């Protein structure tokens, strides 16, 4: 017993080290989660500020448009031509592009704000359809004509959407169309908000996204962003460093090439379940490193939503938990840490390294094997125990190691009329096995 004690102490010391590593990794996971939440909150605060600013500007445009509508109604007899109309409206809406449109929808005049914001003036826009400030898609679907009908019927048509400058560039802005009436409908006034001097919301959102992307890229945590189809739209530098993939290889569904194929189905099922409920999720799976070996990681995903509340995909982080996983497997294999536990338990126990060599045998195992540990230690189990080198016993060892997952089963014993109950706990360093006779 005195000679065996150093072996047990060394084995249990390794378990204690793994338990300490497990606690350290759990602390790191909690810290990384807090960091991820902090980054997400920064992005949310930025976008909320921008959205509120845009809302205020939109409200200001609507209020201005209603003031103009009241002015037009009060002075409808005064306007003898579009120049008078533009001059009056321009005084009220100096910070807007103001475009006068006849009843057929063609431009008759523009103010100086149109040149500054849109790049159009009265000369190069005259007689064009007012839809020239709408995007090609909106022109094709008749959005401009629909706005004119709404303005004529309801007294105002207000939108927040993409518009187009003279050079073809698109920008996000608020717009309002007002009808101009005399005895009958004579035309319209189109107002566009001046984002050249204020907030170009789309540009600011893109800038905010870029800032957050750069911030995330500098984190030591592997991070990804996917759209609702599961297609990757962003992958962090840490992921590329860990897996050896390039960003181009990761985009679309390429990032899944680094996941252990046998884990993909489970990943897909778990993410679909969470996605159907738009809930956060956590998945443990194995990821291939640059060296070609797979390690256990924890994937954490959270749903993303647009400013309008639409689901736009998931953002997630990936944390290496391989050492923690080994610690859990080892600790589950040896539930207690008393120095005599392995010798006093009623089950036989032995441990194998990654080359199937026997590294530990307790007294109960010696009894069942009919061999002393002095003979068995450091021997390949299939050579030391030829009767275990084939059949179900051999196969269950191979299966546990191949699947890299704990197994429990009953198999025929090499001794006639007996069966064995086995519990196997694989790890990259080997396999730990409990077994007992069933009679």
Over residues 126-181, the pLDDT tens digits come to 778 888 889 888 888 888 999 999 988 888 888 777 888 888 888 777 788 888 77
DSSP H or E segment with residue 367? helix 363-369
Q: Does the CA dihedral 247-253-256-261 come out positive or negative?
A: negative
**Residue the block writes with tokens 């069966």:** 419
Q: CA-to-CA distance for 243 and 258, rounded, in angstroms?
A: 7
CA distance 362 to 4: 10
The structure tokens listed for 248 are: 């181009």
Read off the pLDDT band of 72 (50, 70, 90).
low
pLDDT tens-digit series, residues 10-29: 656 666 665 565 555 555 55
**pLDDT for res 384:** 92
User: In which residue are the tokens 């445009």 written?
Assistant: 61
Q: What angle do CA 255, 220, 33 make, to 5 degrees?
A: 90
Q: Taking Cα atoms as reference points, which of 81, 87, 143 lies closest to residue 113?
A: 87
pLDDT at residue 3 tops 70 = no
- By the 8 A CB rule, do 342 and 366 touch? no
SS3 242: helix
Do residues 386 and 406 lie in contact, with contact meaning Cβ atoms separated by under 8 Å? no
Read off the pTM: 0.38
The pLDDT assigned to 401 comes to 86
Nearest to 72 by CA among 144, 150, 156, 179: 179
CA distance 401 to 27: 29
Answer yes or no: is pLDDT of 206 > 90: no
- The model's confidence at residue 100, banded by pLDDT at 50, 70 and 90, is confident
For all residues of the chain together, what is the average pLDDT?
A: 75
User: Taking 50 as the threshold, does the pLDDT of residue 336 lie above it?
Assistant: no
User: Which DSSP helix (H) or strand (E) runs through 52?
Assistant: helix 5-74
Give the whole-number percent of the chain exceeding pLDDT 70.
67
pLDDT, tens only, 234-267: 888 899 999 999 988 998 889 999 999 988 888 8
pLDDT band per the 50, 70, 90 thresholds, residue 37: low
Cα–Cα nearest to 299, from 247, 330, 327, 259: 259
Token readout for 244 is 């050896």
At 197, is the secondary structure helix, strand, or coil?
coil
Rounded mean pLDDT, 357-363: 90
The whole-number average pLDDT for the span 51-61 is 55
Using CA atoms, how far apart are residues 192 and 116, in angstroms rounded to an integer? Answer: 11
- CA-wise closest residue to 222 among 301, 324, 313: 301
Q: For the ranges 25-34, 110-119, 372-381, which has the lowest average pLDDT?
A: 25-34
Q: Which domains does the chain have, with CATH numbers?
A: 29-37+202-321 (3.30.450.20), 53-200 (3.30.450.20), 345-437 (3.30.450.20)
Among 176, 173, 221, CA closest to 201? 173
- 395 pLDDT above the threshold of 70: yes
* Whole-angstrom distance, CA of residue 176 vs CA of residue 164: 15
């Amino acid at each position: 017993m005195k000679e065996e004690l150093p072996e047990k102490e060394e084995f249990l010391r390794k378990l204690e080290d793994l338990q300490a590593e497990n606690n350290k990794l759990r602390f790191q996971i909690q810290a990384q989660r807090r960091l991820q939440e902090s980054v997400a909150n920064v992005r949310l605060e930025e976008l909320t500020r921008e959205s509120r600013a845009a809302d205020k500007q939109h409200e200001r445009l609507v209020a201005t448009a209603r003031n103009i509508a009241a002015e037009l109604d009060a002075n409808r007899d005064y306007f003898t031509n579009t120049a008078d109309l533009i001059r009056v409206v321009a005084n009220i809406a100096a910070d807007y592009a103001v475009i006068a449109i006849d009843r057929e929808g063609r431009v008759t005049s523009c103010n100086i704000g149109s040149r500054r914001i849109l790049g159009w003036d009265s000369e190069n826009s005259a007689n064009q359809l007012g839809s020239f400030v709408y995007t090609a898609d909106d022109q094709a679907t008749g959005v401009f004509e629909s706005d004119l009908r709404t303005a004529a019927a309801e007294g105002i048509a207000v939108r927040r959407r993409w518009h187009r400058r003279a050079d073809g560039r698109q920008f996000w802005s608020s717009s309002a169309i007002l009808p101009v009436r005399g005895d009958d409908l004579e035309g319209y006034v189109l107002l566009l908000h001046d984002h050249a001097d204020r907030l170009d919301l789309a540009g600011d959102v893109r800038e905010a996204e870029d800032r957050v992307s750069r911030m995330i890229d500098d984190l030591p945590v592997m991070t990804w962003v996917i759209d609702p189809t599961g297609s990757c739209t962003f992958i962090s530098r840490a992921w590329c460093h860990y897996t050896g993939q390039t960003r181009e290889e990761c985009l679309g569904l390429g990032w899944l090439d680094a996941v252990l194929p046998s884990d993909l189905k489970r990943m897909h099922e778990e993410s679909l379940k969470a996605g159907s409920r738009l809930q956060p999720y956590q998945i443990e799976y194995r990821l291939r490193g640059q060296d070609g070996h797979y390690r256990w990681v924890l994937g954490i995903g959270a749903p993303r939503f647009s400013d309008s509340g639409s689901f736009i995909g998931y953002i997630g982080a990936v944390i290496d938990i391989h050492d923690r996983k080994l610690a859990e497997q080892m600790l589950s294999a040896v539930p207690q840490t008393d120095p005599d536990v392995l010798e006093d338990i009623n089950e036989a126990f032995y441990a194998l390294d990654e080359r199937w060599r026997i590294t530990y045998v307790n007294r109960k195992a010696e009894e069942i094997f009919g061999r002393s540990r002095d003979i068995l230690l450091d021997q390949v189990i299939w050579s030391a125990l030829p009767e275990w080198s084939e059949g179900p016993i051999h196969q269950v060892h191979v299966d546990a190691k191949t699947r890299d997952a704990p197994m429990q089963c009953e198999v025929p014993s090499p001794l006639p009329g007996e069966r064995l109950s086995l519990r196997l706990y694989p790890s990259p360093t080997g396999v730990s096995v409990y077994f007992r006779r069933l009679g």
